[in-house]
Amino acid sequence: MSEALAIDVQGLTKRFGDTTVVDDFSMQVPRGAIYGFLGPNGSGKTTTIRMMCGLLKPDGGGGTALGLDIIRDSREIKSRVGYMTQKFSLYGDLTVRENLNFMARLHALDAPRKRVKDALETYELEPRAKQLANNLSGGWKQRLALAAASLHSPGLLLLDEPTAGVDPKARRDFWDRIRRLARSGVTVLVSTHYMDEAVQCDAIAFIAYGKKLIDAPSADIPSIVGLHTWRIEGRNLDPVYRALEHQPGVEQIARFGSALHVSGRDEALLKQAVLPYRERDGLTVEPAKTGLEEAFIWLMSGAEDNFQ
């Protein structure tokens, strides 16, 4: 394995009963990257990440994480991984400091008091050190969970829907901290189905029902998918939607507030379909940059649900 790679896995497969939840998954993740795993609920994102990091044994395939074999060296890998779950999983009846002290003992850290003191300062938790975790707001719980997950200086940090249920300011603060961790060399894997989390990632793997659909730098994904998009904005868009959805060249229409994003792979046919609406009073029709959300909807539309 290259020293530049934090993860290098091939052919990972996982079955639960008769259902294959991860099917022949391969990936290489550079050290220090923030890598997003995007897909609908139940698509195998968390299962894939846990196998890649030695937390779950695959039924097929293998590879390395942090230079260690994900099957033979799983115990050592686990000691180098920080895991932050979607649901707050620390002890609500313990204080902030007591939760961090517990995590320090759990990881058998050297100089645990100093580690906890540094974490309280780094994550600005010192003023709340004596507060019960259950009494924290969602944003502060999230900050405490991140402090606990990174207390033992992991080489890999796993985040499962990390900003669900927190306000925009807390979300921005959280991602600023994640980027600082990545700059220090920590590799971050993020499982999500939220676009505003996905755009924070350096690269994204789209996963649907156990299969990887695409794996590329975030900025490159719309062009790889090959969609062209026009934006139609105005009032009373329902008749426009119904008229366009069966027009040649129109392969996808997505509603974004007071606008329709109309997409297709044939640029000329798509333009021919939407341009007549420029003559309509009250409508603005302009070409738009295809975004991750349009790409996500497009990829999901062709995915087959493995639970059906």
Give the whole-angstrom CA distance, residue 114 versus residue 108: 13
CATH fold of 228-289:
Alpha-Beta Plaits (3.30.70)
Best CA proximity match to 186, nearest among 46, 85, 43, 81: 81
Superfamily (CATH H level) for 5-221: P-loop containing nucleotide triphosphate hydrolases (3.40.50.300)
User: Is the model's pLDDT at 53 over the cut of 50?
Assistant: yes
Q: Which of 14-18, 201-205, 275-279, 292-296 has the lowest mean pLDDT?
A: 292-296
pLDDT at 210: 83
Region 45-55: mean pLDDT is: 89
User: Is the model's pLDDT at 169 over the cut of 90?
Assistant: no
Which residues have a Cβ under 8 Å from the Cβ of 276 and sit 6 or more positions away? none
Whole-prediction pTM value? 0.84
**35 is written with which tokens?**
């890598």
User: Is the model's pLDDT at 286 over the cut of 60?
Assistant: yes
Contact 257, 224 (CB under 8 A): no
pLDDT at 149: 95
DSSP state of 181: H
- Sheet hosting strand 5-16, strand order edge to edge: 19-30, 5-16, 60-65, 68-69
3-state secondary structure of 108: coil
Name the helix (H) or strand (E) containing 224: helix 221-225
User: Is the model's pLDDT at 200 over the cut of 90?
Assistant: no
Residue 7 or 88, more confident:
7
Domain with CATH 3.40.50.300 in the chain: 5-221
Domain with CATH 3.30.70.330 in the chain: 228-289
Residue 147 or 291, more confident:
147
How high is the mean pLDDT of the chain?
A: 90
Region 71-94: mean pLDDT is: 91
Percent of the chain with pLDDT over 70: 96
3-state secondary structure of 298: helix
User: Is the model's pLDDT at 2 over the cut of 70?
Assistant: no
Give the whole-angstrom CA distance, residue 262 versus residue 284: 13
